[in-house]
A and B are shown apart, each in its own frame.
Chain A
Amino acid sequence: MIVIVTGGTFGIGRAISLKLARDGHRVIAFGLEARQPSSVAEHGAATLQTEAAALGLHIDALEADVSSAAGVQRVVDFALATYGEIGGLVNNAAIGPLGTILTTSADVFRQVVNVNLKGAYLASKAVLPHMIERRHGVIANVGSGGGWGKPNMLAYSASKGGMFSLAAALAYDHADDGIRVNTVVPRPATLTGMSLGRIGGDMSRYRPALAAVGRIGTADDCANVVAFLFTPGAAGLNGAILDAGSLPRQGGPVPAPP
Chain B
Amino acid sequence: MPRVIVCGAGSVANAIARALRDATLDVVTAADATAVERAVAAAQTRNERIDALVTVAPERGPAATIVATPETQWDDVVERHLTAVFLACKAVMPHLIAAGGGAIVNVADAAGYGRAHMLAESASHGGIIAFGAALAYDHFHDRVRVNTIVAGDAAGPDDIAPVAAFLLSPDAEVMSGSILDVCNVAYQGGR
List chain A positions with a Cβ less than 8 A from chain B.
164, 167-168, 171-172, 183, 187, 211-214, 217, 221-222, 224-225, 227-228, 231-249, 251, 254-255, 257-258
Contacts and interface: CB of A to CB of B under 8 A. Distances in A.
A243 B163 contact: no
Contacts of B181: 237, 239-241
A247 B140 CA distance: 9
Contacts of B173: 211, 213, 221
Interface stretch (B29-37, B118-126, B130-138): B130-138
A234 B162 contact: yes
Give the interface centre of A213, A241, A249 by most chain B CB atoms within 10 Å: A213
A209 to B, nearest CB: 10
Contact of A254 (B137, B160, B171, B187): B137
Contacts, number: 130
Contact of A212 (B145, B155, B185): B145
Contact of A168 (B101, B143, B166, B186): B186
Contacts of B183: 236, 238
A172 B191 contact: yes
A244 B137 CA distance: 14
Nearest to B185: A239
Contact of B141 (A234, A244, A258): A258
Contact of A246 (B163, B174, B180, B187): B174
A236 B171 contact: no
A242 B185 contact: no
A223 to B, nearest CB: 9
14 contacts: A168-B185, A211-B174, A212-B175, A225-B171, A238-B185, A239-B184, A239-B186, A240-B180, A242-B178, A242-B180, A243-B178, A243-B179, A246-B175, A247-B176
Contacts of B182: 236-237, 240
Contacts of A217: 174
Nearest to A228: B166
Contacts of A228: 166, 171-172
B8 interface: no
Nearest to A221: B174
B160 A236 contact: yes
A58 to B, nearest CB: 23
Contact of B136 (A167, A212, A232, A233): A212
A233 B101 contact: no
B58 interface: no
Nearest to A229: B166
A251 B143 CA distance: 18
Contacts of B144: 212
B26 interface: no
B186 A240 contact: yes
A65 B1 CA distance: 47
A187 B171 contact: no
A246 B144 CA distance: 11
A175 to B, nearest CB: 9
What are the 6 tightest A-B residue pairs by CB atom distance, in nearest-first order?
A: A236-B159, A233-B162, A239-B185, A212-B176, A248-B177, A243-B178
Q: Most chain-B Cβ atoms within 10 A of its Cβ — which of A212, A234, A235, A241?
A: A212
B165 interface: yes
Given A212-B174, A238-B185, A248 B179 contact: yes
Contacts of A234: 162-163, 166
Given A164-B186, A213-B176, A243-B179, 18 more contacts: A168-B185, A168-B186, A211-B173, A212-B177, A213-B173, A233-B162, A235-B158, A236-B155, A236-B162, A240-B180, A241-B179, A242-B178, A243-B177, A245-B178, A247-B176, A251-B177, A254-B137, A254-B140
